[in-house]
Amino acid sequence: MSQNSAVGTESFATQKKGKVKKKLRWAIIGCGGISETHINALDRIPEIEIVGGCDIKPERLKLMRDKYGFTATYKKWDDMLAELKPDVVDVCTPNAVHKPAVIAALEAGCNAITEKPMAMDPAECQAMIDAAKKNKRKLCCGFQMRYHPACDMFVRAREAGDIGDILFVKCKALRRRGIPNWGVFGQKELQGGGPMIDIGVHIIESAHYCMGAPKPVAASGNCWTFVGDKPSEVVSMWPGWDWKTYTVEDLCVGQVRFDNGAIMQIESSFCNHIEKDVMNFEIVGTKGGFNFNDETIYTDHAGTMVNSKAAFLPSVDFGALFVAKFQNFANALLQGTPLRSPGEAGMSVQKIIDGVYRAAAAGKEVSID
């Protein structure tokens, strides 16, 4: 089984709380919108107890107390880490704050999990990995799409030899008109980029995981901004974004070469003149192919082209994928089982995204170290 595989180690069945020998004391840095998805998922895991949260906005801390019953809330993470001494710190901040928050947690003796992407660039990822090793703590990048049953289905087929050598992967994370009108998603200095680093990361990480996590070696790419930095009267699901502070791309396309000869093509957009939104990836190998959304493997058998679709895969919603990734981290800490998304996996995905962005800025293919 390939590194970071750990197929089948987490269940998507709804878990009921019961008595456990040890609970992980879990604290959250960054109590914005995504933290609520985390809280709802964490509440379904009996081995985890949320002990507090930290945010710079008093109104978010009040929400944590009033809605979720937090009894310990802080404006500064140093105060929270010193007083609560949690086992795990869960970082849900804007991307630019991932590195300092994670390193502070690791230096305080906590294990850490951070929202995607892992950081702003590979150098920040490396600093986080080094801090985890120095302090002998575990670091997890919070990718959840790789826990989807369709990914498990494909990885099992690949490891059984049914796919052969992977040749080509096509990733699409496309919105026709979906610029977030909340948060800082349009501010490059806080996010590192636009749709490629925000929503493209979901498809890239799951596809890269399914490929067996080959090493990226070179990238090319292009970025365009043609809608987001201007006022718009077009009716859309999230109107009224702050176009005056919009400094990221609307559309990014890239191609990445890997050390095993495979190619990944990526398209990601907040704004695009297309028929409909798409979140999908497809994989082509020498013996078989795969479509993530269709949950189908394409092969030849007994002289016939065959489309193989599972008779049964667990039905999962968005929240269940969060439960699975947190359960995986809890199991790794309490039982020593493999992490499906360690810091090194976050680094690999960051190198892919960073390579495409650097290539777009340079106007030529760039190497990836």
Question: What pLDDT is attached to residue 21?
Answer: 74
The whole-chain average pLDDT of the chain stands at: 95
Using CB atoms within 10 Å of the CB of residue 329, give its burial: 0 to 12 exposed, 13 to 18 middle, 19+ buried: buried
Superfamily of 165-285+348-367 according to CATH: Dihydrodipicolinate Reductase; domain 2 (3.30.360.10)
Phi, psi of 155 (to 5 degrees): -60, -40
Phi, psi of 152 (to 5 degrees): -60, -45
Query: Is pLDDT above 70 for 116?
Result: yes
- 3-state class (DSSP) for residue 253: strand
- Compute the distance between CA of residue 36 and CA of residue 30 in angstroms, rounded to an integer: 10
- 3-state class (DSSP) for residue 302: coil
Question: In this predicted model, what pLDDT tens digit does every residue of 314-347 receive, in sequence order?
Answer: 989 999 999 999 999 999 999 999 999 999 999 9
Query: Is pLDDT above 60 for 351?
Result: yes
Q: What DSSP designation does 333 have? A: H
Question: In this predicted model, what pLDDT tens digit does every residue of 12-27 receive, in sequence order?
Answer: 544 444 567 789 999 9
Query: Is pLDDT above 80 for 276?
Result: yes
Question: In this predicted model, what pLDDT tens digit does every residue of 123-171 receive, in sequence order?
Answer: 999 999 999 999 999 999 999 999 999 999 999 999 999 999 999 999 9
Phi, psi of 76 (to 5 degrees): -120, 130
Question: What pLDDT is attached to residue 267?
Answer: 98
Where in the chain are the domains?
24-145+321-338, 165-285+348-367
Q: What DSSP designation does 82 have? A: H
Question: In this predicted model, what pLDDT tens digit does every residue of 181-199 receive, in sequence order?
Answer: 999 999 999 999 999 999 9
What class does CATH assign to 24-145+321-338? alpha beta
- Percentage of the chain with pLDDT > 90? 93
Question: What pLDDT is attached to residue 14?
Answer: 42
Question: In this predicted model, what pLDDT tens digit does every residue of 60-84 receive, in sequence order?
Answer: 999 999 999 999 999 999 999 999 9
Q: Tell me the whole-structure pTM to 2 decimals.
A: 0.94
Query: Is pLDDT above 60 for 4?
Result: no
Question: In this predicted model, what pLDDT tens digit does every residue of 204-238 receive, in sequence order?
Answer: 999 999 999 999 999 999 999 999 999 999 999 99
